[in-house]
Structures are given as C-alpha cells and as structure tokens.
Amino acid sequence: MPALSPASSAFHVAIVGGGPAGLMAAETLAAAGLQVDVFDAMPSVGRKFLLAGKGGLNITHSEAFEAFAGRYGSRRAQIEPMLQAFGPDALRAWVEGLGVSTFVGSSGRVFPAEMKAAPLLRAWLARLRAAGVRFHPRHRWTGWGDDGRLQFATPDGPTSHSADATLLALGGGSWARLGSDGAWVPLLAAAGLDVAPLQPANCGFVVASPRAGQATGWSEHLASRFAGQPLKSITLQLAGDPAPPRPGEAMLSADGLEGSLVYALSAAIRERIARDGRATVLIDLAPGRSLERVQAEVAHPRGARSLASHLQSRVGIAGLKMALLRECLSPAELADPARLAAAIKALPVVLVAPRPIDEAISTAGGLRFEALDENLMVRGRPGLFCAGEMLDWEAPTGGYLLTACFASGRRAAEGVLAWREGHGPDNIY
C-alpha cells in the first residue's frame, strides 16, 4: 500500500477524527510548530458538530464551576482537571477569538450570537489551514499494519501513513451517518485495549405499556394523537433516587419518553434498567401546586362538568397531561379524588429499554481512563493518545459534552508535546 509521507522533517502527528476534540488537538499541536495531518472518514470534517448546531449551537454552560464539574458523574475525577485547564470561560474566550461573539441564554446555556455552528467552523478551519494543518477526507481508519503504520480505506483504495505520534479522536457510536459509528471499538479491542461497551446516552426510553395485552408502548390512541408533542411545565424524578425532582419538559415519543428532562436522567435510568429490568420515573404534572392544594382542587364539586373540564379549570391539567392521566390510570383511580391527586403530583411511568444507540445524542462507554495515563496516552503504547467522546465518560446536554470534548482534545495534544520533549521523535509508533 502506498504511504503518505510527511512534507517536512518536523515532528509529525496524525490525528484520526475531525470532530471538536480532534480539531482542538490539531490547533494546539500546530501552534507548537508540529506537522499535523487530520484524517476523517467523511467527505468533510465536523459533520456532527454542524448538525448539533442546526437548531442552535450550545457551546457550553455558564453555571458555577463546581456544579459544572459535577455533571460528569462517576468520571468527574478524570474530566475535572481538563476543565480546570480549559473550561467554560476559556472556551468562550476561544470562540470569541475566532470572531464569533457569544451570549448566555435564559437557561444559562451559552450560544454563539448567530446560534449556528457553520460560521464558527469555517473560521476555525481557515485558521487551521493557515497554520499548516493538512486534511485528508474520506479516509476511514482500519487499524495498524504489521509495520505499525496507520491503515486507511479510501475511494482510491487502501493507503497507509506513518507518524511520530498518533492521536485518535473517533467519537462515540451515535449518529453513524455523520461518521460517529463506533467502528473503532473492535480495532482497539483487538489491540488489547480496555474498551467499555458503548451504550446510548442522552436518549429516549421505551415505556412499559399501561394497557393489558400490550407489552410496550403507548396505546394507538395516545401515540397517534400526541407523539412528538412536548410535556411542558413538569418535574421528573427517578423513583427511589434521593436527587430532587428536575424541572423542565419532556416529549412523548411513539413508544415512550424523550426530551431534555429524560436525557438529564438517562444515565441513572439506563443503570436502573440494567439492574432491575425496569425503571420507574415520577412525573409531577402540576409542580407549582402542593399535593394538599391539588387534592382540594380535585375534590371540589364539579357539578355537570366533565372531569377534563374540571381539571383544566381547577389544576391546569389539559391536552397531553390529561391524555396521559387517562392512559396510565384506571377508571376507578380517575374517579377517586385522592388517588387522582396523588397521580397528578407523582405519575409513575415505567421505562423498560433505551432507544437504539444510533438515535442517541451521545454514547457512554469507550476506552477506559484506566488504560490511559494523565496525559491521555495509552499505557504500554508510547505515542498513542486518545481524546473526545471515544473515552469512557458521559454528560447531559447543555454544553457539557462539547466542553469536555474540546478540553480533552487540548489535554491529549499537550500530552503529545510533553511526550515529545521526554522521548523525541525516535520512538515512532
């Protein structure tokens, strides 16, 4: 196979993956004077980044650092040092350094002024090209050859590439059509690296049907009339979890629940399902009212009015909320004011499975941090570094995913620089 050779004698780094982590690594390394080649399986880099910003690019979040770092759950200890070096404030300054101003939305999320990813990506790629970074689209990484070279499949046939250091930033396993397909998992596993199975994160879940004779999913009546509609002004809590209920909104899908509130709890829901086979979430349909007040309003005489009319006027329950109560409660429960009020304040919905991984916003699992040193270099594989979503961590939406991808790309690049200083280009991998 023909080999792509570096154009100069400079220390040469191959970056596989052209998402935020890979591009941030490329910028850091090029700024240090290294020769950088970026390979990506897609026709152009940043495909998932662009689509993520289609409805408004949520770059990061403005909340206090302690709360921000807490969003990374069991992997906080590994992610927090990266955020301390390149966190939300540094990321905003970096974005504005590209000529793209930012603002903080009402939810605390940070967006570019134009709300889009394309202007930012165009400015970034122009800066990278000016710094000498070379891009190789339509290069799908297929592993290593016997001689240690990186192997790629291209439209023109297989090719190989050698480098003084390699940085993998291959993404997770969701959104395969944009290049994030997890095809690297068996390659790393075959090389003896410790990879946790990829699982859907920030995803929707399938509901256990409240209807007799139906295993999963909503009734045809509910799904046909309300699938895709938001369930607004609610709180959501995982039953048995000491964490307080989260306010916000969810969305009814054809066979379950999805949306921002569900995504925020997806890790805990997924783990509960793995342990118990199901997870019950409690939906407060009237979070602005106490249980006692709801009980009093429900018990108020309604005369000739229908139950739906009564609940709408007394408790503000209408539309999808009313339909969900009818779906989940028996006629006897609907007729009992105490039981109905209890359901309005804590409607139990049983979830039994996450939606498929390719529908998820992100993935959990990946190369375990225990396989890496503090500079994100693979232990026992000198000169091989990894960054981004392919590592074993997860976070909710809200800018946390992107921030950690940027920060890990920067950390891995700094790891390359430190390794170069300590070992030099003679230790080629």
Q: Which helix (H) or strand (E) holds 139?
A: none
pLDDT band at 51, cuts 50/70/90? confident
DSSP structure class, residue 160: E
Q: Domains of the chain (ranges plus CATH)?
A: 3-201+360-423 (3.50.50.60), 205-354 (no CATH)
Please tell me whether residue 19 adopts helix, strand or coil conformation.
coil
pLDDT band at 422, cuts 50/70/90? confident
Whether residue 6 is predicted with pLDDT greater than 70 in this model: the reply is: no
Q: Per 3-state DSSP, what percentage of the chain is helix, strand, and coil (rounded to 5)?
A: 40, 25, 35
pLDDT score of 1: 30
Average pLDDT in the chain: 92
pLDDT band at 322, cuts 50/70/90? very high
pLDDT band at 428, cuts 50/70/90? very low
**CB environment 10-44: b (16+ within 10 A), e (fewer):** ebbbbbbbbbbbbbbbbbbbbeeebbbbbbbbbee
Please tell me whether residue 65 adopts helix, strand or coil conformation.
helix
pLDDT score of 27: 98
Phi/psi for 227 (5° steps) reads -60, 130
Q: What is the mean pLDDT of residues 326-340?
A: 95
Q: What is the mean pLDDT of residues 384-408?
A: 96
Question: For residue range 125-149, what is the model confidence (pLDDT) as tens digits?
Answer: 999 999 999 999 999 999 999 999 9
Rounded-to-integer distance, Cα 259 and Cα 253, Å: 9
- By DSSP bridging, strand 256-258 and strand 279-284 are unpaired
pLDDT band at 53, cuts 50/70/90? low
CA-wise closest residue to 365 among 127, 182, 207, 124: 182
Alpha helices in 228-379 (DSSP H): 260-264, 266-276, 291-299, 307-315, 319-328, 331-335, 337-345
Cβ–Cβ < 8 Å for 232, 287? no
Q: What is the mean pLDDT of residues 365-393?
A: 97
CA-wise closest residue to 47 among 161, 174, 156, 154: 174
In this structure, what token pair is assigned to residue 116? 């889009």
In this structure, what token pair is assigned to residue 143? 């592993």
C-alpha angle 305/310/311, rounded to 5°?
155
Q: What is the mean pLDDT of residues 102-119?
A: 92
Whether residue 423 is predicted with pLDDT greater than 80 in this model: the reply is: no
pLDDT score of 3: 37
% of the chain residues with pLDDT over 70: 96
Rounded-to-integer distance, Cα 243 and Cα 265, Å: 10
pLDDT band at 210, cuts 50/70/90? confident
pLDDT score of 178: 84
Cβ burial of 335 (10 Å; 0-12, 13-18, 19+) is exposed
CA-wise closest residue to 261 among 273, 271, 247, 281: 247
Please tell me whether residue 207 adopts helix, strand or coil conformation.
strand
DSSP structure class, residue 104: E
Q: What is the mean pLDDT of residues 325-338?
A: 94
pTM, 2 dp: 0.89
Q: What is the mean pLDDT of residues 287-293?
A: 94
